[in-house]
Amino acid sequence: MPIPKPKSGETESDFMSRCMSNGSVQSEFPDQDQRVAVCLDSFRSKKEEMEMTEDVLEDQEEVKFETGSLEVHAEIKAENSEEDAGVFTGYGSIFGNKDLGNDIVVEGAFAKSIAKKGAKGVKLLYQHRADEPIGVFDEILEDRKGLKVKGRLAMGTQRGREVYELMKMGALDGLSIGFRVDSKGYDYDERGKRRKLKEVDLMEISAVTFPMNPRARVAQVKGADRTVREWEELLREAGNLSRSEAKVAANAVTKALDLRDAGETDKPEVISAIQHLTTILKS
């Protein structure tokens, strides 16, 4: 029997509950972790298809209202050095959204723990395995979005190098937290069947294949190629641009720098403009 597919308008939580309880899925994948991985992959694949469709429709609207703009797709090379090797940034937890375990982390939940332990006091692990530390955290802080982290992988170890390569490829891009919480640290919503975590003791943050909170992800890896979508997200956050504006700018940046790296200097006015833009972004 085929793996269930998300229905139109179905939330991730509802789909995961339906998929995990599906008789065929339980029969074919008796291990719970396997079922989570398979169901989550099915949901994300469908979501990506929908996003691609939305992008096509949006592009058509942009052509209609922004005649003359050129849209291209390429990748650029990020700066890299020995000091940067193994460095990554991302979010270990996101505030306000329900994860696959029906937990919602409230802003401020990590503040006391971070103040007490500092970044170095929180372990950086691989797949939540206590016997596999893979580096250290240089920065851990709360912003309005969630638990923002900057980690440094141990490049002198085999596992550290493996995780770095997988992160650069995007094959390993999930982050997941390990914590302790007592009865005073959360409220339980009986109606919604979910916990609201108000104060937790943060123990570790792991690089994982399938995070409990699907939005907790590695955002950037030093030495990796920055994609058009990553530029688009950066421009929207840093430049307060609309989605359509950020898309045009991101494509222009990547195309121009790709031409520069290829040695094509027949369009100096384009390259000069984009170099100016990247200087602004870096500062």
Dihedral sign for Cα atoms in the order 48, 51, 56, 57:
positive
Whether the CB-CB separation of 210 and 81 falls below 8 Å is answered with no
Q: Selecting from 3.90.550.10, 3.30.420.40, 3.20.16.10, 3.40.50.300, what CATH number does the domain 87-221 have?
A: 3.20.16.10
d(CA 211, CA 93): 10
Strands 186-189 and 87-94: unpaired
Please tell me the distance from the alpha carbon of residue 71 to that of residue 63, in angstroms, as a whole number: 9
Burial category of 56 from C-beta neighbours within 10 Å (exposed 0-12, middle 13-18, buried 19 and up)? exposed
CB of 250 closer than 8 Å to CB of 108 = no
Residue pLDDT tens, the chain, 283 long: 567 888 877 888 787 888 888 887 777 777 777 777 778 777 776 666 655 444 433 443 333 322 232 222 222 233 445 567 789 999 999 999 888 888 899 999 999 999 999 999 999 999 999 999 999 999 999 999 999 999 999 999 999 999 999 988 888 889 999 999 888 899 988 887 889 999 999 999 999 988 877 777 776 666 555 556 666 666 766 666 777 777 777 777 766 665 655 555 555 666 666 666 666 555 5
Cα–Cα distance between 196 and 267 in angstroms, integer?
A: 55
Where along the chain do its domains lie?
12-53, 87-221, 228-282
